[in-house]
Chains A and B, each alone.
Chain A
Amino acid sequence: MTNTSTIKVIKPGQQTLLQDFGRFGLSHMGIAQGGPLDDYAYSWANHLLGNSTNCPALEITLGQAEFKIEDDCELAIAGGNLNAKLDGKPITNWSTFSARKGQSLTFGLPLNGLRSYLAVKEGFIAPQQLGSCATVVRDQLGGIKSGSPLSAGDELQFSPHSVRKKPVQMSFRCKPDYDRVLELRVVEGYQIDDFSAEQLDKFYSQEFEVSQFIDRMGYRLCSGKVIPPEKQYLSEGIALGAIQIPPSGEPIVLFNDRQTIGGYAKLGCVARIDLPRLAQAKPGQKVRFVKGDLLGLQEAWCKWANYFWY
């Protein structure tokens, strides 16, 4: 057994999940991709530490979590501002920081956004199931024990490393403000041609609200409706970010833990570069959709993908 260092979970908060970039190549068996809902923040947390994109990190949702540092280490946080503190002293978000043995790392209530990503230099060490440690509770896969979220007393392991004293931060220009009104670009597709012009117009002109029903499978919107076509569809593969219109008319945007296939009418998908903002949105936040241009959005996504080596 090689030497490993640990961070201990004292309180997991609402939900803390170990995630790598995701579990791919298994959707034909109904297995979800999992992985970070805000892949932009997750990627930055790893990138600031010089880690590869697939290094396991923690997704801490809604804060109220506490960890005990059991060995000196270099960490990074990025994403929602959950009021992170080290021994009571605030830590800069979108930055690396060093932590010493015995220190307490706490996350409070969200000040901006919902989810924070905590990465450690070289990543947490976790067993792989079907090629990934991404936690998908429903599939009983990932994490440190078969799909379970982290709980009090769990020990997260990592390789001992030398700790840089000077923090690495990201340019302020790249830091999103998650509380702004969301304007989500849409790549149209799927059953869009079956929707009436009137309903499409309603889709783009209404202001929706993020409902209480939000989880890693999907975000249901409310305070606006779109009437779906009066047609039955056979279930088909659901892409990340798909905008599904169930009979109730309230759109659901589907995320990483979504069902792999489904039969509700879909208008297309939210742009990949806009999805992280929705993943950080809170109930009550306003959402508008605008028609996007596939090739332009694809180019923007490719720049990002190349930057982070996806």
Chain B
Amino acid sequence: MDIETTIDPVAECSVLIRFEAAPSDQLSWIIGEISLYLRNQLGAWVMNVTPSFNTILIDYLPHRISIFEFVPYLERIVTEALLHLPEQPEFQSIELPVYYHPDVGPDLAIYYEHGLTLDQIIHLHSSKAYTVGAIGFTAGFAFLSAVDDKLQLERKASPRLKVAKGSVGIANHQTAVYPSDSPGGWNIIGNCPIDIYTPNSSPVLPFAIGTQVTFKPIGLEEFLALGGNISKEWQ
């Protein structure tokens, strides 16, 4: 894959790898692979590897390895990884159940005003695979793209103070599941009853950068059986 990359220090203990390319499934896949490799190989020097859409931030210990050795080392790893990128990378994939209903999706109403029915919304949201492009905002919050044009809505002008855990939201071309109760401005259309962020068990998250995520519509009965909750606290 022919992508220009740069590696620059951004702090005494951090360097930023930038991939000069628009975000894509392939780019996410390779960023996921390089990040995994760095986390596994460099325990003694590397404190954190933070991949995102087209960057990887690496926090390292400059008293253990000098920047003059570390940057060329990273350059070699990145060049190798890009050279050996498969034509058709094998994506990890997972399926998450979602209960799409106004009781857990207060912003479905906005789509109704735009002329879409609940069935159409469910079909548009659940009939494609999304790629994890970044994880952040809160622990386990994965930015998934790309949402169908008809479902794209800007995030709310004033965010809600509390969005219920499991809420499935849309902002522009991205969708996400809120892993825990938190403030948030995305448009909420449903709820995923599965625990996404499980800090006391392994794995902590069911996905990583580059994973493909699909949503499976479920009914109320299954939602409740899987541990789903209907929040009464929408503001």
Contacts and interface: CB of A to CB of B under 8 A. Distances in A.
Interface in A233-259: 234-242, 259
A28 B135 contact: yes
Interface residues of B, number: 46
A21 to B, nearest CB: 10
B63 A305 contact: yes
B74 interface: no
B208 interface: yes
Q: Which of A236, A237, A241, A310 has the most chain B CB atoms closer than 10 A to its own CB?
A: A237
Nearest to B55: A236
A237 B57 contact: yes
Given A237-B55, A237-B57, A259 B136 contact: yes
Given A30-B141, A235-B52, A310-B63, A241 B136 contact: no
Q: Which of A235, A295, A297 has the most chain B CB atoms closer than 10 A to its own CB?
A: A235
B190 interface: no
Contacts of A242: 10-11
B152 interface: no
A25 B48 contact: yes
Contacts of A306: 63
A306 B61 CA distance: 10
A269 B14 contact: yes
B10 A261 contact: no
B12 A272 contact: yes
Given A29-B139, A140-B180, A294-B12, A302 B63 contact: yes
A232 to B, nearest CB: 11
A190 B9 CA distance: 9
B39 A237 contact: no
A103 interface: no
Interface string B54-82: 11110101110001000000000000000
Contact of B13 (A129, A268, A301): A301
A262 B12 contact: no
A235 B134 contact: yes
A214 B182 CA distance: 19
A261 B137 CA distance: 7
B129 interface: no
A210 interface: no
B140 A29 contact: yes
Nearest to A271: B12
Contacts of A32: 139
Contacts of B200: 129
Given A189-B9, A259-B137, A261-B134, A239 B59 contact: yes
Given A261-B137, A268-B10, A272-B12, A234 B54 contact: yes
B56 A24 contact: no
Nearest to B202: A130
Nearest to A295: B67
Interface in B127-161: 134-141, 143
A260 interface: yes
Given A237-B16, A298-B62, A310-B63, A29 B10 contact: no
Contacts of B59: 24, 27, 239-240
A35 B71 CA distance: 27
B49 interface: yes
Interface in A175-215: 187, 189-190
A33 interface: yes
B22 to A, nearest CB: 9
25 contacts: A27-B59, A28-B50, A28-B51, A29-B140, A29-B205, A30-B140, A138-B182, A140-B180, A187-B9, A187-B12, A189-B11, A189-B16, A236-B16, A237-B16, A237-B51, A237-B52, A237-B56, A241-B11, A261-B136, A271-B12, A297-B12, A298-B12, A301-B13, A302-B62, A310-B61
Given A234-B53, A261-B134, 20 more contacts: A25-B48, A27-B59, A28-B35, A28-B48, A28-B51, A29-B204, A30-B135, A31-B204, A129-B199, A130-B199, A189-B10, A235-B52, A237-B16, A239-B10, A239-B11, A242-B10, A269-B11, A269-B12, A301-B13, A310-B61
Q: Enumerate the 5 nearest inter-chain pairs by beta-carbon distance, A residue then B residue, closest first.
A: A237-B57, A237-B50, A261-B136, A189-B10, A269-B11
